[in-house]
Structure 1
């Protein structure tokens, strides 16, 4: 009988155990949302969202929230009356000036361009390592790590000193060009235009053809006037030996001892060929014979006594000059 009662007691306890566990678990679970609410006087009150702070907790279900101030942030729901300050970035330690207006998260200090953190704590920034000519950056430095350099090989080069310059490939000469000077680790290939043989031949032949054409044209022009030029040349050569420089000679005026009669006393026409007429006798010299030898430029007859030089009129003899 006793055993039967014990068995019934155990059965009741086993049936009551789940109920007791459920009640305990219900009592342990909070009634408010731990992310967006907080409990106050047994009531679930709302928190202020990220980027804001609580200026007053009343009323509980609709608190008054305001934005965080400059260089402040709040990255989660809060019931606090203040936001958290942003980290201070000292420009004298090569940090950049913070320009972000984000108030919902912390903004870490960033090193200036060309600098990196000196340690994991990033308390200060130091310049990147520079790569000398003939070397390029294998890893370009940034805020977190330094630049790593490597030697330029395999048809690459670098001709400057920098922390972000990489090794560049040599220039490949285009069609119609050839390498004048091969590149090195510090210099690029130098290309030049490939000389073309037919262009070189043309440049040499064309001047020769032009010269031959000029000579042929000159010869053709001279050929037609060759005889005339020979004649002029011969006459010029002969004249240099036969002719003497001309000089002006003035014939002195001859004063005859006898009076000269007027031009009308001389015969107006020359005697015909085959014989000469009897000369007229002069009153003073009746025995002197005269003969006509020609006319002057004025048309007067020039008379000449036999055995004497020609006599011209006094007027013409005074003005006329002769060249010998």
Structure 2
């Protein structure tokens, strides 16, 4: 008899436990309908009324159907820990944190971020850092260089001076590039040698020209006869006409003298 009662009690208890459906919850012996994601119970159901729900306040959330009376607090991504919000919290989903730019997560849940390592001068980035992996550096191989701290820059190749029509002055190192300079041809050197004293030559030519001009000015000063002709011309008598008249007068005078001697 005792065994039968125990079995009945177990059956009755089992019936009480499993009587609610997958989207119901048990409250005071009643199977109440759960509230949907983003909401919680405002009033539990009774025999006469169904469950009353309300939405979660700002900064809180509920991701699944529930019979809870309080929402959950949204997660805060602490920037001082190298984190930032990858997905902002909503009523139905919690905040998802990720590493800040230049940081990586130290664990799979990203509870803290750490800054990517920088490669010093003479080293370059072999593998760039990701959200969950740190930067991997390498010493710059022969023929390459890096001259700054960087978590993203790889080693760069030395400049080949011949490829840019220049000559090499200093070969590059792990931290410096090759130094090049412009090629200067023999023709260029000759031209440069000629061009340098040009200002002096120009000055000499200017002085010589001035002296010659002064000498020529003195040499070509007008003669008195020219001045007389010029003066006569100024008085209204052309120089050519005056000479002609003088010639005629001379001939007439000679004729008169000849006639007088004949008589």
Q: Given the two structures, how large is their TM-score scaled by the length of structure 1?
A: 0.43
Distance (whole Å) between structure 1 residues aligned to residue 153 and residue 31 of structure 2: 64
Match of 1:218 in 2: 208
Contact 1:111-1:125 at 8 Å conserved across structures: yes
In the alignment, does 2:60 pair up with 1:96? Answer: no
SS across alignment from 1:185 = coil
Structure richer in helix, relative to its length = 2
**1:206 to partner: Cα distance:** 4.0
Of structures 1 and 2, the larger Rg is shown by 1
Distance 1:67 1:219, change over 3 A: closer
SS across alignment from 1:218 = helix
Runs of 4+ in 1 over 6 A off after TM superposition: 39-44
Distance (whole Å) between structure 2 residues aligned to residue 91 and residue 219 of structure 1: 83
**1:149 to partner: Cα distance:** 0.9
**1:125 to partner: Cα distance:** 4.4
Distance (whole Å) between structure 1 residues aligned to residue 76 and residue 203 of structure 2: 90
Q: Given the two structures, how large is their TM-score scaled by the length of structure 2?
A: 0.51
**1:141 to partner: Cα distance:** 2.8
What are the equivalent positions in structure 2 for 1:265-304 lying under 5 Å apart? none
SS across alignment from 2:83 = coil
**1:158 to partner: Cα distance:** 1.1
Distance (whole Å) between structure 2 residues aligned to residue 147 and residue 115 of structure 1: 10
**1:186 to partner: Cα distance:** 1.0
Q: CA RMSD in A?
A: 4.5
Match of 1:26 in 2: none
Distance 1:207 1:131, change over 3 A: closer
Distance 1:172 1:221, change over 3 A: same
Match of 1:85 in 2: 73
- Map Cα deviations across residues 45-99 of structure 1 (whole Å, 9 max, x no partner): 46323x3334335563x843313441x332233343322334465666x243658
Of the candidates 57, 64, 69, which is equivalent to residue 76 of structure 1?
64
What are the equivalent positions in structure 2 for 1:112-131 lying under 5 Å apart? 112-120=100-108, 124-131=112-119
Structure 1 stretch 130-139 or stretch 99-108: which is displaced more? 99-108
In the alignment, does 2:125 pair up with 1:137? Answer: yes
Contact 1:52-1:68 at 8 Å conserved across structures: no
Distance 1:192 1:66, change over 3 A: same
Match of 1:160 in 2: 148
What are the equivalent positions in structure 2 for 1:59-74 lying under 5 Å apart? 60=50, 63-70=52-59, 72-74=60-62
Distance (whole Å) between structure 2 residues aligned to residue 118 and residue 100 of structure 1: 19
**1:185 to partner: Cα distance:** 1.8
Of the candidates 191, 199, 217, which is equivalent to residue 202 of structure 1?
191
Of the candidates 126, 138, 144, which is equivalent to residue 150 of structure 1?
138
Contact 1:158-1:168 at 8 Å conserved across structures: yes
Contact 1:48-1:54 at 8 Å conserved across structures: no
Distance 1:152 1:195, change over 3 A: same
**1:147 to partner: Cα distance:** 1.8
Of the candidates 107, 120, 124, which is equivalent to residue 95 of structure 2?
107
Match of 2:236 in 1: none
